[in-house]
Structure 1
Amino acid sequence: MSTPVTTGFKDSAVKPGPPHKVVSAEEWQEARKKFLQKEKEYTRLRDELTRERMALPWEKVEKNYVFNSPEGKVTLSDLFDGRSQLIIQHFMFGPDEEIGCVGCSFAADSINGVLPHLEHHDVSLVVVSRAPLATLEAFRKRMGWHFKWVSSGESDFNYDYHVSFHPEELETGKVFYNYNVVENLPHNMEDLPGLSVFYKDENGDIYHTYSTYGRGGELQLATYNYLDIAPFGRNETNERGDLTSWVRHHDKYDEKGHVDNTGRYHKEKTPGSCCSED
């Protein structure tokens, strides 16, 4: 889950009056021009980071990963679908779960619109999870997504790219994620989000060029980029200051319920029930 900047307002349903100084048009223009210089510095720095990212060394992929897809068994090479570049979204969706992580669903909502542009610019984008293919397909249909979604449940792919953890790893209290040792994850949190990027050359050799985890995937999350220019920003008001305070599957906003600290959505408990329903 991300930990973005918030407004500090505790009640997202009730906003106070203007929290900033109200000024004349001339003063507003001057303040905005001054801040524009910092925005330009950020843009130039982001451009430089992009150049440095593209210059990072690559590692050759030696293992033959096989996935379950609607077309049957496919390899990592097949996922390129005739293109030379492949972006994979690691979506938190374990083998025993029926619905996908709320945060990963939030990110996946940004894919439909960009997919045709990527595919016509030599880039394939595929979503990968450990859940069985039938479960993934049912959830994809419910959410109205059009991207390819394959199951890695019968391979080491998720574990090799450090987005899934064996129960015995979690029992130790330490897992390797986002290039660091992360301690004390909940024992039922066997998956975490990320993005991994690959290149396939004319000989069919595949190279791992980049992976990013945690907040590293926020640039691909369109809703956050809009919220970051809105008056109240992300306005995430729970104790953790993350998306579980408000984000829901896009077809669940009119229903009550909550999202726990592992990104799982729970329906509101029904009368006579002792707890929320999954």
Structure 2
Amino acid sequence: MTTELNATRQQWLAARLDLLEEEKELTRQSDTLAIKRQQLPRVRIDKQYRFDTDDGNVSLKDLFGGRSQLLVYHFMFGPDYTAGCPSCSSIADGFNGVFVHLENHDVAFWTVSRAPLAKLEAFKRRMDWSFPWASSFGSDFNGDFSVWFSAEQQHQGDVDYNYRQEPPAPEPPALEPLAAKTVPE
């Protein structure tokens, strides 16, 4: 970052226009990439996933709500969590304003987490959120879609994440018992 503040308005404008051209090129590249992403083939899902929602226990097909597309945000909130992931929570703060627009463009939107629905609903009330949130508690859904892995899978290197095989996670260091430490006199 430059800290020089002695440019003229014309020098700044010339530099800004050069940067604007680079920004427009990046936008064009992003648009091209979006089209390629939209052209990816669809995969048939035959497994019968079930989710707990405000409207009861529903199927994956039900989450579409009659729309042709389904956008699922995998929110990190496991059964043993006391609150949602801080990063996921920060991102989710914007969902209330977005999901309505998606639905108006034939896209159903759901947040899905592994925690039981009652726990999700309590956190949702605490955060003052209104977007739809489903629990996949007791389901293979998150694991099948490579967004959740057991510690054993991670240590064995049996994890496909971001569409590639991950190396085994290192074993955590053994903790030395506190009683074994000597206290200086």
TM-score range, shorter chain: 0.7 to 0.9
Cα distance, 1:186–1:71 mapped onto 2, change above 3 Å: farther
After TM superposition, give the deviation of residue 173 of structure 1 in Å.
Answer: 4.5
Q: Which amino acid aligns with 1:168?
A: E
Query: What SS is found at the alignment partner of 2:159?
Result: strand
After TM superposition, give the deviation of residue 181 of structure 1 in Å.
Answer: 2.2
Q: What's the counterpart of residue 94 of structure 2? A: 110
Cα distance, 1:167–1:127 mapped onto 2, change above 3 Å: same
Structure index of larger Rg: 2
Q: Deviation string for 1:26-60 (max 9, x for gaps)?
A: 11100000111111110110111011111111111
Q: Is the 8 A contact 1:170 1:187 kept in 2?
A: no
Q: What's the counterpart of residue 82 of structure 1? A: 66
Structure 1, unmatched stretches of 5+, are 1-6, 8-18, 189-278
After TM superposition, give the deviation of residue 169 of structure 1 in Å.
Answer: 0.5
Alpha-carbon distance in structure 1 between the residues aligned to 2:113 and 2:33: 29
2:84 corresponds to 1:100: yes
After TM superposition, give the deviation of residue 174 of structure 1 in Å.
Answer: 4.9
Q: Which amino acid aligns with 1:40?
A: K
Q: Point out 4+ residue stretches in structure 1 off by more than 6 angstroms.
A: none
Q: Which amino acid aligns with 1:106?
A: S
Query: What SS is found at the alignment partner of 1:59?
Result: coil
Q: What's the counterpart of residue 156 of structure 1? A: 140
The alignment of Structure 1 onto Structure 2 pairs a total of residues equal to 171
Query: What SS is found at the alignment partner of 1:61?
Result: coil
- 1:137 aligned to which of 117, 121, 131: 121
Could you tell me the TM-score, scaled by structure 1's length? 0.58
Q: What's the counterpart of residue 21 of structure 1? A: 4
After TM superposition, give the deviation of residue 171 of structure 1 in Å.
Answer: 2.9
Q: Is the 8 A contact 1:67 1:154 kept in 2?
A: no
Alpha-carbon distance in structure 2 between the residues aligned to 1:111 and 1:91: 12
Q: What's the counterpart of residue 30 of structure 1? A: 14
Query: What SS is found at the alignment partner of 1:115?
Result: helix
Could you tell me the TM-score, scaled by structure 2's length? 0.86
- 2:49 aligned to which of 65, 69, 93: 65
Q: Deviation string for 1:152-197 (max 9, x for gaps)?
A: 1121100110001123202325521101222355889xxxxxxxxx
Q: Is the 8 A contact 1:167 1:187 kept in 2?
A: no
Q: Deviation string for 1:74-107 (max 9, x for gaps)?
A: 0111111121111000011111111000111111
- 2:161 aligned to which of 173, 177, 200: 177
Q: Which amino acid aligns with 1:21?
A: E
Query: Which of the two has greater strand per residue?
Result: 1
Q: Percent identity?
A: 48
Alpha-carbon distance in structure 2 between the residues aligned to 1:29 and 1:187: 55
Structure 2, unmatched stretches of 5+, are 173-185
Q: What's the counterpart of residue 182 of structure 2? A: none
Query: Which of the two has greater helix per residue?
Result: 2
Q: Is the 8 A contact 2:114 2:135 kept in 1?
A: yes
Q: Which has the higher contact order (CA 8 A, sep 6+)?
A: 1
Alpha-carbon distance in structure 2 between the residues aligned to 1:186 and 1:153: 28
Q: What's the counterpart of residue 178 of structure 2? A: none
Q: Deviation string for 1:216-252 (max 9, x for gaps)?
A: xxxxxxxxxxxxxxxxxxxxxxxxxxxxxxxxxxxxx
